[in-house]
Amino acid sequence: MEDELYLENIDEFVTDQNRIVTYKWLSYTLGVHVNQAKQMLYDYVERKRKENSGAQLHVTYLVAGSLVQNGHTCHKVAVVREDKLEAMKSKLATIASVHVYSVQKALLKDSAPLYNTDYDIVKTNLHNCSKFSAIQCAAAVPRAPAEVPQAQRASAQAGSRAPSDAGAGSAPVVNGHAPSAAKQTSQQPKGIMEMFAAKAASKGHDANKETKTESKEAPGVSAASSKPPAKSSIMNNFFGKAAMNKLKVNSVPEKPKEEKEVVKPSVPVAEPESSSNVVVEKPGKKTESVKSQQKDKKSKMKRVDKSDNEEEREPENLKKKRKRIKQLESDSSDEEDIPPSPTPEEEKAPSPPPVPALKAELEPVPTEVSAGGRKRKRKRVLKSKMFIDEEEGCMVTEKVYESESCTDSGDDFTESKPPPPQKQPVLPAKKEPKEEKKNVKKGPAAGSRANKQVSIMGFFQKK
Amino acid sequence: MPQRRWLHLHNTWQDVQVRKLCELQLQPSILQEISEEHNLEPQPPLPKYIHPSDELILEDELQRIKLEGAIEVQQLVTGTILAVYGCEQDDGKFLVEDHCFANLPPSLPWKGPSADRFVLLVSGLGLGSGSGESLLGTQLLVDVVTGQLGAEGGQSCAANISRVLLAGNLLSQNTQSRDTINKAKYLTKKTQAASVEAVKMLDEILLQLCTSVPVDVMPGEFDPTNYTLPQQPLHRCMLPLASAYATLHLVTNPYQADIDGVRFLGTSGQNISDIFKYSSMDDYLEILEWTLRAGHISPTAPDTLGCYPFYKSDPFILTTCPHVYFCGNAPRFQSKLLQGDEGQRVLLVTVPAFSATQTACLVNLRDLSCQPISFSGFGAEDDDGDMEVGH
């Protein structure tokens, strides 16, 4: 069912929008794995050709293989037009892969438009350019900016790359196309492997590493499974010395140990536990690409969270600092952007705990203070408070009764959230112990905090 | 070998090991260049600066002596260290009977992988050249490495690529033009250097690579870093997108590293091309092997190649034999597995310039074999010329 949708989409792109649909473009646009995109293009071409609807479709193919030139094997990867496909295939001694590169209505003179299409789509998706690719690297996690200079010092970290094979069951696509992807991809190996497996079998070449890895895939897994336990100890050693100096010209003590295996879904459970030691700051390596992608997401989220927390903490600290300064300088710092509203919340948060502790001190404190010769009276003063209303994005001025000390040391608490007036009695009551505490603490310091409303001469009287 | 002063040698056959100097007729001289009052034309850049009348001079801290005899003048470059066997003649020249080099240094123990692991060596991406010919090739390279191109067999093979090493000249020579200096200010107000755009493109390419494989980036002759050897790594502020990834390693030129237990040593090619200019050797691979045997990466520095004035120790002397010795920006791909007398095994690779040849090198770390891999698109002509691109 979903296949039909995709085919219709491709149809629309190619015929109606007259686009050059490359496998990469399709992969990003539809959000599917690259191998799936290639298979979809192949299906589309097959169907269209069968239908014979007369619409001219031009297809370009990617051919990769090796040939023997001047006595040694060279690998070639080429994008060819359909008419040259057979010629290219015959030139190559062994063919590693052939698949559809792009489908378009118009005949292309050269491959520049292909490049442009890919360039545009990659540019718009730069930050998840590996999302749909077949190879995932667990080490490739973007660092938070603060860590970058530190990481410069450390030696190279081990990466691990595991090809997220689109074949046999492992679902590489995260966005919910998993079941159909599995179906598609199980068809796809048949389709494409048919194309080159026959050729590869007939023209087997010992030195060709492609065929080697293909045939090794099955036994390779069991070998791979025994490798990770052995390597985990090496990994541990490596990360014991993780923080080494970076390069000089002469000696670059890099010891990356990278594990790569050809993935099969049965890749052993040993993988995750060995990989848990792998990277210091990164999550464990997973060979299942779904998990790896999810993990990557998680790790990315972790990073995002971390950075978010950092960001949140900072303004809080700033606010706290500013709040103190503000108290010292009182109204002179009214123009500051800091909305007074969040700060009383912060204040209230620490205030309840100290309140019970303070209450015990309350009795002696006021008497002390008053006995200290500084006459402090509490007065209700109508003040106009200005603050920024975040929801509406405007500055609000309100006339609020504030209790404040009539001497210079009056703490101008920024209680003026727009609380309904009934809250006022509650607030002052709560504030009093705080104020007292603050007064006690800042008695001398607050002396210079001139309460302009009272009298500037109060400043001099203090002295 | 103990070094002896040849002061004391008179008509004796002795081994001497001293520094050698070549006097070259055609060597560009700064004094000649600035002698405008003589109305001399500036010397045109030549591909080779050798001349039949060149002489060889053997030099140590105290004095120098001319060499003649069984020694090939054109083959040697200034700064070579070698031993000569012969005797001093009456006319003050030294007649050479034989000479030899330091030969391959002792090798490092082999700790290579037992399975197939590959390192992709690329050099001379040449971004910012203004011509888009190699761009598709570059994109195909990135796609192969990141596992987007190819069927599953090819992709799982590409997954075994454990490192990509970019050996210099990431930017094209065209970005080096300094026309803005010659033009009037009002014409060049809003222009920016060509390298800015090129570096942005490089950043995007590196980002794509880094999300998938560890990458080591070496600077080259045309890259925005210092000119003298050893060139310092490109600064990460130029590559904001890619340097967020820990898989990006910005490294120096020359560069030595242990990749999966295999010792790599190489340069972006300035040393080899300099020797090419000043000697009769034509083959980059031959020159590469020669530097290994002579025991010094870049004997012509600081004479004709800019180099930091090291005075206490020379970091370019080869004390151990690497397993893979490469140079970038060669005219074509060549590789050779060299066997030393003491059982050393070195893979010599000359990495071709990608912008010209669309070819990169895949080194298999398990058995130190190397294969070129070339990329091509199709053009308007679309003839068999595509196939001859990499050889």
Q: Which domain holds residue B255?
A: 118-129+159-374
User: Cα-flanking dihedrals φ and ψ of residue A382, to 5°?
Assistant: -80, 115
State CA A313 to chain mean position distance.
20
- What is the tens place of the pLDDT at every residue in B27-69? 556 665 565 556 656 566 677 877 777 778 887 777 778 888 8
When pLDDT is cut at 50, 70 and 90, the band that residue B324 belongs to is very high
Report yes or no on B50 lying in a domain.
yes
Tell me the average pLDDT across A62-82: 86
* Dihedral sign from CA coordinates of B258, B264, B267, B268: negative
Kind and range of the H or E element at A51? helix A34-51
What pLDDT is attached to residue B114? 83
What pLDDT is attached to residue B122? 93
CATH of the domain at B239: 3.60.21.50
Report yes or no on B144 lying in a domain.
no
Tell me the average pLDDT across B334-340: 89
pLDDT(A338) > 50: no
Report yes or no on B327 lying in a domain.
yes
Residues of B in contact with A214 (CB under 8 A): 153, 156
Q: How far apart are CA A133 and CA A117, in angstroms?
A: 17
State the nearest Cα–Cα gap between A310 and chain B, in angstroms.
18
Record: contact B154-A210, CB cut-off 8 A: yes
Indicate whether B316 and B192 sit together in one domain.
Answer: yes
Report yes or no on B13 lying in a domain.
yes
What pLDDT is attached to residue A463? 52
Q: State yes or no: cis peptide before B302, omega within 30 of 0.
A: yes
When pLDDT is cut at 50, 70 and 90, the band that residue A434 belongs to is very low
What pLDDT is attached to residue A364? 43
Q: Return the SS3 of A363.
A: coil
Record: contact A111-B136, CB cut-off 8 A: yes
Q: Which of A90 and A378 is assigned the larger pLDDT?
A: A90
What pLDDT is attached to residue B255? 92
Record: contact A135-B257, CB cut-off 8 A: no
When pLDDT is cut at 50, 70 and 90, the band that residue B361 belongs to is very high
pLDDT(A437) > 60: no
- What is the tens place of the pLDDT at every residue in A137-185? 777 777 766 555 555 444 333 334 444 433 333 333 333 333 333 344 3
State the nearest Cα–Cα gap between B48 and chain A, in angstroms.
28
Tell me the average pLDDT across B249-261: 90
Q: Which of A74 and A213 is assigned the larger pLDDT?
A: A74
Strongest mean pLDDT among A208-212, A256-260, B106-110, B268-272: B268-272
Q: How far apart are CA A128 and CA A144, in angstroms?
A: 16
Those residues with Cβ within 8 angstroms of residue A183's Cβ, 6 or more apart along the chain or in another chain: none
pLDDT(A247) > 50: no
3-class SS letters over B185-202: CCCCCCCCCHHHHHHHHH
A:B CB pairs within 8 Å = 252
- What is the tens place of the pLDDT at every residue in B80-118? 887 778 887 888 888 888 888 878 888 888 887 888 889
What pLDDT is attached to residue A153? 47
Write the burial class of residue B315 (CB in 10 Å: 0-12 exposed, 13-18 middle, 19+ buried): middle
Which of A162, A166, A258 is closest, CB to CB, to B152?
Answer: A166
pLDDT(B1) > 60: no
Best of B127, B157, B205 to disrupt the A interface by mutation (most A CBs within 10 Å)? Answer: B157
Write the burial class of residue B382 (CB in 10 Å: 0-12 exposed, 13-18 middle, 19+ buried): middle
- Structural contact between residues A263 and A289, judged by C-beta atoms closer than 8 angstroms: yes
Indicate whether B62 and B201 sit together in one domain.
Answer: no
Best of B255, B378, B381, B388 to disrupt the A interface by mutation (most A CBs within 10 Å)? Answer: B378
pLDDT(A304) > 50: no
Residues of A in contact with B252 (CB under 8 A): 247-249
State the nearest Cα–Cα gap between A247 and chain B, in angstroms.
7
Q: How far apart are CA A425 and CA A433, in angstroms?
A: 14
pLDDT(A356) > 50: no
When pLDDT is cut at 50, 70 and 90, the band that residue A289 belongs to is very low
Residues of A in contact with B214 (CB under 8 A): 137, 139, 156, 159, 256, 258
Which of A75, A167, A251 is closest, CB to CB, to B152?
Answer: A167
State the nearest Cα–Cα gap between A41 and chain B, in angstroms.
14
Record: contact B154-A80, CB cut-off 8 A: no
Record: contact A213-B157, CB cut-off 8 A: yes
What pLDDT is attached to residue A441? 46
Q: Which of A255 and B313 is assigned the larger pLDDT?
A: B313
- Structural contact between residues B163 and B183, judged by C-beta atoms closer than 8 angstroms: no
For every residue of B87-149, DSSP letters joined together read EE-TTSPEEEEEEE---PPPBPPP---SS--EEEEEB---BT-S--HHHHHHHHHHHHHTT-S
- Structural contact between residues B220 and B124, judged by C-beta atoms closer than 8 angstroms: yes
Indicate whether B221 and B330 sit together in one domain.
Answer: yes
Record: contact B364-A209, CB cut-off 8 A: yes
Report yes or no on B15 lying in a domain.
yes
State the nearest Cα–Cα gap between B315 and chain A, in angstroms.
6
Nearest-10 Cα torsion for A245, A248, A252, A253: -30
Report yes or no on B390 lying in a domain.
no
- Provide the mean pLDDT of chain B: 80
Record: contact B260-A263, CB cut-off 8 A: no
Q: Name the residue among B212, B198, B200, B190 with its Cα closest to residue B237.
A: B200
Indicate whether B122 and B64 sit together in one domain.
Answer: no
When pLDDT is cut at 50, 70 and 90, the band that residue A375 belongs to is low
pLDDT(A348) > 80: no
Indicate whether B281 and B241 sit together in one domain.
Answer: yes
pLDDT(A102) > 60: yes
Nearest residue in chain A measured CA to CA from B386: A78
When pLDDT is cut at 50, 70 and 90, the band that residue B192 belongs to is confident
Q: How far apart are CA A149 and CA B339, in angstroms?
A: 42
What pLDDT is attached to residue B23? 54
Tell me the average pLDDT across B167-181: 79
Q: Return the SS3 of B367.
A: coil
Q: State yes or no: cis peptide before B230, omega within 30 of 0.
A: yes
Q: Name the residue among A326, A318, A356, A334 with its Cα closest to residue A434.
A: A356
Q: How far apart are CA B322 and CA B105, in angstroms?
A: 9
Which of A80, A212, A251 is closest, CB to CB, to B378?
Answer: A80
Record: contact B236-A152, CB cut-off 8 A: yes
Which of B157, B246, B259 is closest, CB to CB, to A209?
Answer: B157
Nearest residue in chain B measured CA to CA from A118: B139
Residues of B in contact with A112 (CB under 8 A): 132, 136, 377
> What is the count of structural domains for chain B?
2
pLDDT(A234) > 70: no
Best of A157, A247, A264 to disrupt the B interface by mutation (most B CBs within 10 Å)? Answer: A247
- Provide the mean pLDDT of chain A: 57
pLDDT(A282) > 60: no
Residues of B in contact with A260 (CB under 8 A): 117, 159-160, 162
What pLDDT is attached to residue B348? 93
Which of A60, A77, A123 is closest, CB to CB, to B373?
Answer: A77
Q: How far apart are CA B275 and CA B78, in angstroms?
A: 9
Indicate whether B79 and B124 sit together in one domain.
Answer: no
- Structural contact between residues B296 and B318, judged by C-beta atoms closer than 8 angstroms: yes
Which of A23, A78, A129 is closest, CB to CB, to B208?
Answer: A129
CATH of the domain at B18: 2.40.50.430
Which of B148, B244, B254 is closest, CB to CB, to A148?
Answer: B244
Indicate whether B88 and B122 sit together in one domain.
Answer: no
Nearest residue in chain A measured CA to CA from B151: A97
What pLDDT is attached to residue A394? 79
Which of A62, A91, A151 is closest, CB to CB, to B246?
Answer: A151
Report yes or no on B135 lying in a domain.
no
What pLDDT is attached to residue B219? 92
Indicate whether B208 and B68 sit together in one domain.
Answer: no
- Structural contact between residues B162 and B214, judged by C-beta atoms closer than 8 angstroms: yes
Indicate whether B49 and B125 sit together in one domain.
Answer: no
Which of B147, B161, B162 is closest, CB to CB, to A133?
Answer: B147
Indicate whether B214 and B277 sit together in one domain.
Answer: yes
Indicate whether B95 and B203 sit together in one domain.
Answer: no
Q: How far apart are CA A70 and CA B41, in angstroms?
A: 45
State the nearest Cα–Cα gap between B15 and chain A, in angstroms.
30
pLDDT(A135) > 50: yes
Indicate whether B124 and B67 sit together in one domain.
Answer: no
What pLDDT is attached to residue B183? 75
Write the burial class of residue B346 (CB in 10 Å: 0-12 exposed, 13-18 middle, 19+ buried): buried
3-class SS letters over B75-89: CCCCCCEEEEEEEEC
